Amino acid sequence: MHLSLEQSTQLCSLLADESRLRLLLLLEAHELSVAELTEITGLAQSRVSTHLSRLKRAALVQDKRVGAAALYSASANGGDAQALWALLRGQIDDRQARLDRERAEEVIRARKHGQTWAESVAGRMELHYSPGRTWEATARAVIGLHEFGDALDLACGDGVLAELIAGHARSVTCVDISATVIDAAQKRLAAYANVRFCQADMHALPLADAGFDHIFAMHALSYSRQPQKMLAEAARLLRPGGRLVVATLNAHRHEEAMRAYDHVNLGLAPDKLRKLLSAAGLQVEQCGVTSREPRPPYFEVVTALARRP
């Protein structure tokens, strides 16, 4: 992001108002009308309208007509303002913002007008809480449909994925370069006799060729300066017919926002990932953007499935 002094001043001025930040936080989670925003925040309706107008000009907010009303929501195309907001957003943890979210939920519930819960959130259901309806619960419900044989979890972190698949695999090997996270994974997975751990660099692993039926690289590529080398290593370790599962961020420009997570690259576009997988000698079965986060900066996730011939 390269800005003139005037542009920088304008952006800082835009995001230097507490009320505008409250509105942005609310509109990341819900589509709301001016009247609803007024009810939630206690701000004057004229003030809310003025703030929304400024945020809309900066492309941080968008609106759509629903009957006679206009519903506002956060926009995905905020340009320079989006990048600055993403950086600021990651640092906000405020009591007033939490109260606003609670009031927003009350307003949404009151909006239903005799509809069922599902009808009231149709089209945005994945963004709303419902008891027991989480991605983890869904994954645990369907994971038993598959057997993973001997599995390898690259950049395993503290073992969340390994815990999910351990009961459906002959063995799981967890690899990470950090002794701290390996120790945490060992504690998490202490009850599983079929899980082993390896503290090593995922680009050069002390593991025998063709030892695994499934290899998972779930966001491992975000920590690789040599993705082609890491993918070639994964291909070496797969048995014939074995599969590599990859999830990584799509190419993006939010370098500052990712520093807090120690990412060493700015993601991989699907075409680039497909080429790297093919260059590693793997047959690409699928590769593309499979999800998009609902909050700025709207990171996209690329997933790929590739098989060793």
- Note the pLDDT of residue 95: 87
**CATH code of the region 135-307:** 3.40.50.150
Find tokens 């990651």 and name the residue.
90
- Note the pLDDT of residue 8: 76
- Note the pLDDT of residue 242: 98
- Note the pLDDT of residue 265: 93
40, with CB counted inside 10 A (0-12, 13-18, 19+), is: buried
Q: Provide the whole-model pTM.
A: 0.67
pLDDT in tens, the chain (309 residues): 566 777 778 878 888 889 999 999 899 888 888 988 999 999 999 999 999 999 898 888 899 887 667 889 888 765 677 777 777 777 787 889 888 888 888 887 777 666 676 776 677 677 666 778 787 888 888 888 899 999 999 999 999 999 999 999 999 999 999 999 999 999 999 999 999 999 999 999 999 999 999 999 999 999 999 999 999 999 999 999 999 999 999 999 888 878 888 999 999 999 999 999 999 999 999 999 999 886 667 889 999 999 999
Where exactly are the structural domains of the chain?
5-123, 135-307
- Note the pLDDT of residue 115: 67
Rounded-to-10 torsion of CA 65, 71, 75, 78: 90
- Note the pLDDT of residue 141: 87
**CATH code of the region 5-123:** 1.10.10.10
- Note the pLDDT of residue 129: 66
Q: DSSP string of 27-91? A: HHH--B-HHHHHHHH---HHHHHHHHHHHHHTTSEEEEEETTEEEEEE-S--HHHHHHHHHHHTT
- Note the pLDDT of residue 1: 53
- Note the pLDDT of residue 139: 85
Residues 24/61, Cβ–Cβ less than 8 Å: yes
